[in-house]
Amino acid sequence: MRLLPHPATEDIELTEVLRALADPIRLKIVARLATVGEMTCGEATDHLGVHKSTASHHHRALREAGVVYTKQEGRLKYISLRRYDLDARFPGLLDSVITASGDHRAVAASGERGRD
Amino acid sequence: MRLLPHPATEDIELTEVLRALADPIRLKIVARLATVGEMTCGEATDHLGVHKSTASHHHRALREAGVVYTKQEGRLKYISLRRYDLDARFPGLLDSVITASGDHRAVAASGERGRD
DNA sequence: CGCATTGTTTGACAACCACCAAACAATGCG
DNA sequence: CGCATTGTTTGGTGGTTGTCAAACAATGCG
């Protein structure tokens, strides 16, 4: 049910993934996905403090980099981490990033806007 | 002998590190440092295929993000990975990136011989 | 079908980035 | 001191990015 363009596992590139993760907003999305497993785009947007079009832009960036998988169900779109694929391609990378983003204020520090 | 501005270990930020690593040229530098341990800026530049001012720009980006340490000896400047600091702050991150960059050809573009 | 909900796309704009070239700075050597 | 070596800084340029607002598209409900 892949209605949206997702890169194949073998086409996921390291620099693309790193670039996708190198943004406070997107890191926030990833960190949240790591705990909730899955959420709708709208639910994700509510926790970001940016315009919905901006959130959509970030969701696409993550999807096109191969970091998240997006599936549609009715009017909603659910996003989730492509853990299996990422682990297969870049072992340990996602885990270390998620762990790092969960500690201290590594994420909040650069992207905070007092709206969390 | 820190003549150049290096961030303190606790000031190294995840997004900054990821941002620094999310570039093919800088990833190449990091991958090379992972094998040779230390090299001069000039030696690094020779393997990049970009202008020396561009290389200098990348070296600074890596240094300011806290990824590499730069020390001066005479006319030369040696750069090396801040493995210990990065491991302390973001366990496993650097290793996973180095491993990932070593696998596929994402990084290797110009013939280089690493001892791996 | 009409309409609200959910999310995307487009346009516009400011900020940033990678790159080169040339000038500059710092260091050591003769 | 004069000069070559090593690397940085500055200026300029084209491309990318993050952001919002507004229009658009798709879906399900009454």
Residue B72 lies in a domain: yes
Residue A66 lies in a domain: yes
3-state DSSP assignment of residue A81: strand
Residue A35 lies in a domain: yes
Q: Tell if the CB–CB gap between A110 and B13 is shorter than 8 Å.
A: yes
Residue B75 lies in a domain: yes
Residue B1 lies in a domain: no
Q: Give me the CATH number covering residue A97.
A: 1.10.10.10
Nucleotides of D under 7 A from a protein CB: 5-11, 17-23, 26-29
Residue B110 lies in a domain: no
- Distance in Å from C4's C1' to A45's CA comes to 19
CB A52 within 8 A of CB A60: no
Q: Return all residues near A83 (Cβ < 8 A) that are at least 6 apart.
A: A94
Distance, in Å, from the CA atom of B37 to the CA atom of A92, rounded to the nearest integer, reads 22
Distance, in Å, from the CA atom of A60 to the CA atom of B70, rounded to the nearest integer, reads 37
B109 touching A (Cβ < 8 Å): no
pLDDT in tens, A75-87: 999 999 999 999 9
The single residue listed with the structure tokens 């001066």 is: B72
Please give the tally of structural domains in chain B.
1
What pLDDT is stored for residue B5 in this prediction? 82
Domain around A28: 9-104
pLDDT in tens, A22-60: 999 999 999 999 999 999 999 999 999 999 999 999 999
Which residues from chain B sit within 8 angstroms of residue A23, using beta carbons?
Answer: 15
Residue A109 lies in a domain: no
Q: Which nucleotide is nearest to A54 (CA to C1')?
A: D19
Distance, in Å, from the CA atom of B14 to the CA atom of A109, rounded to the nearest integer, reads 10
Residue A75 lies in a domain: yes
